[in-house]
Structure 1
């Protein structure tokens, strides 16, 4: 049997992981038809079907899943070996793939990326914005960003510079018209901008003061799943929004929004970059983590 090429095996992993010739082709910079032809050639050489194909989907067979599981670990080790060698060039290079929710991605853009570009010009930080929790290892990411409390125990966490403090905000025009709530219970008489979580459920607003904790179900004219849009809706006078302070700070500084119920807001929550603790850290990821730590010290 002729040994398959590394390119064909890499292409198979991309197709089997994405379960799509089109998405795999986008990742590899080739045409879906080229990938399809390569997969048929790979199956012919191995003498076994690796992929079940229909007009709408692609899924690995039992043999394909076995090969995928083994190849992922092998290719990861190969990448680590190549990254280790790259350090001898004296210039760190490569790509760091990071999965982060939108608010944390904005913090990376604001606080980290410029310093990365200045210190490590040959490193590309590829940020994928995704609000749902995922397995970064199986997703092919080098690192993720999440609240510290939601990071798996087998990961190593490096805190970001600024923790998240949630705030309730509304426009001056809305508050002049509707009045300012003095307690969380009074939100029942206000228009509130709902927040839909990645799971699909509506977020229940959380408050705390002097040991008393409250969770409030709010109603209003709109439900959104993006914090920037919530801030924009609040600035337009649609109602009160409950958002991370990072998202609203510019509008608050400009006077386009005001905080309400400040004495009822919970304490800040730490946010961290995290990465697998059981594998070697590639030079590009190490450089990224060094910048994150430096930014934290500066802040």
Structure 2
């Protein structure tokens, strides 16, 4: 038979009054300390004693002392009540100012592009917040896994989530190294990928992701093949730089190697544009100050702020590299 483990109603009633009387050894002084009348304190303690089933105080006209039951009750109740008060203070503090642990679920590709400049400046601005970044390609249940928020590309975020833009929309680019392109004909059409070594991504559900393109107004998914399968874009990008094959990666991730000549952008007329990267959270519970502060920081830093528009600057570098 299932047992019902519950705290009975009123189990903590009177404990604060008892502790105050025990500390002051006076109902009058305890009442003054708690801001109530002596008769109210006396009544509260009597109700507590009735519920406990034992007298806790020895009362005389001149003094108040503890019974043996009162001494034992005080020994256990005082540290427990102090812990409850401390727990309330901590919870109240977290609800009033940015502090505590902020846990973020983030794809590894987003860390160097988006989060590095954000985290550095956020930690300087809010030293009482600890930031934990869990890099994972999987779409996790934020509440079930204990995350405050996540970072993902817009097309992967559920409609019931609250999303805050981190980047403008950007293209998915096919890239290859000069060394690789020296050995192979440069692809000019999507069908040309049949003759190329294409580096592929395995999704969290186990399937191999096709390469998306647009041909005019038509969406196209190319099934490609090649020597390497990875679970994250940075690995694919690194292999492309080494000349292993062609890779299709988020444009901002390839911005630096395109700009310095280690990679070349290919098939740009067919590149598909994604909604961009977003910070998202459930929004179902009250947003704690630590997350609210991070959201406001994201909104400021994602814009072209004059003091530190790092994200916007990196995306502009990417656009310049692809126009040259």
TM-score between both structures, scaled by the size of structure 1:
0.69
| Higher mean C-alpha displacement, 111-120 vs 150-159 | 150-159
Report the 3-state secondary structure (helix = DSSP H, G, I; strand = E; otherwise coil) of the residue aligned with 2:244: coil
Report the 3-state secondary structure (helix = DSSP H, G, I; strand = E; otherwise coil) of the residue aligned with 2:269: helix
The residue aligned with 1:56 is none
| Higher mean C-alpha displacement, 197-206 vs 267-276 | 267-276
The structure 2 residue matched to 1:96, chosen from 84, 98, 102, is: 102
2 CA distance for matches of 1:143 and 1:80?
A: 24
The structure 2 residue matched to 1:144, chosen from 147, 150, 153, is: 150
The residue aligned with 1:208 is 214
The residue aligned with 1:230 is 236
Give per-residue Cα distances to partners, 1:22-74, cap 9 Å, x unaligned.
Answer: xxxxxxxxxxxxxxxxxxxxxxxxxxxxxxxxxxxxxxxxxxxxxxxxxxxxx
2:211/2:221 contact within 8 Å kept: yes
Report the 3-state secondary structure (helix = DSSP H, G, I; strand = E; otherwise coil) of the residue aligned with 2:303: helix
- Report deviation, 1:126: 0.6
- Structure 2: gaps of 5 or more residues: 8-85, 305-311, 313-324
The residue aligned with 1:85 is 93
The residue aligned with 1:48 is none
Q: Provide closer, same or farther for how the CA distance between residues 185 and 284 of structure 1 changes in structure 2, counting only shifts above 3 A.
A: same
- Would you say how many aligned residue pairs link Structure 1 and Structure 2? 224
Q: Provide closer, same or farther for how the CA distance between residues 259 and 165 of structure 1 changes in structure 2, counting only shifts above 3 A.
A: same
Q: Provide closer, same or farther for how the CA distance between residues 84 and 271 of structure 1 changes in structure 2, counting only shifts above 3 A.
A: farther
The structure 1 residue matched to 2:119, chosen from 113, 125, 129, is: 113
- Report deviation, 1:289: 0.7
Q: Provide closer, same or farther for how the CA distance between residues 197 and 81 of structure 1 changes in structure 2, counting only shifts above 3 A.
A: farther
The structure 2 residue matched to 1:157, chosen from 153, 160, 163, is: 163
2 CA distance for matches of 1:80 and 1:258?
A: 57
The residue aligned with 2:264 is 258
Give per-residue Cα distances to partners, 1:140-196, cap 9 Å, x unaligned.
Answer: 000011222322233211111344421000001111220110101010011111211
The residue aligned with 1:199 is 205
2:137/2:231 contact within 8 Å kept: no
- Report deviation, 1:3: 9.1
2 CA distance for matches of 1:3 and 1:206?
A: 55
1:80/1:282 contact within 8 Å kept: no
Report the 3-state secondary structure (helix = DSSP H, G, I; strand = E; otherwise coil) of the residue aligned with 1:198: coil
1:84/1:283 contact within 8 Å kept: no
The structure 2 residue matched to 1:239, chosen from 233, 245, 270, is: 245
Aligned ranges 1:4-19 → 2 under 5 Å:
none
2 CA distance for matches of 1:263 and 1:296?
A: 27
- Report deviation, 1:96: 0.7
RMSD: 2.5
Q: Provide closer, same or farther for how the CA distance between residues 193 and 79 of structure 1 changes in structure 2, counting only shifts above 3 A.
A: farther
The residue aligned with 1:127 is 133
Q: Provide closer, same or farther for how the CA distance between residues 107 and 235 of structure 1 changes in structure 2, counting only shifts above 3 A.
A: closer
1 CA distance for matches of 2:180 and 2:111?
A: 30
1 CA distance for matches of 2:5 and 2:270?
A: 68
- Report deviation, 1:107: 3.1
Asked which structure has the greater CA Rg, the reply is: 2
2 CA distance for matches of 1:200 and 1:80?
A: 45
1 CA distance for matches of 2:302 and 2:166?
A: 6
Query: Is residue 175 of structure 1 aligned with residue 156 of structure 2?
Result: no
2 CA distance for matches of 1:265 and 1:87?
A: 45
1:101/1:129 contact within 8 Å kept: yes
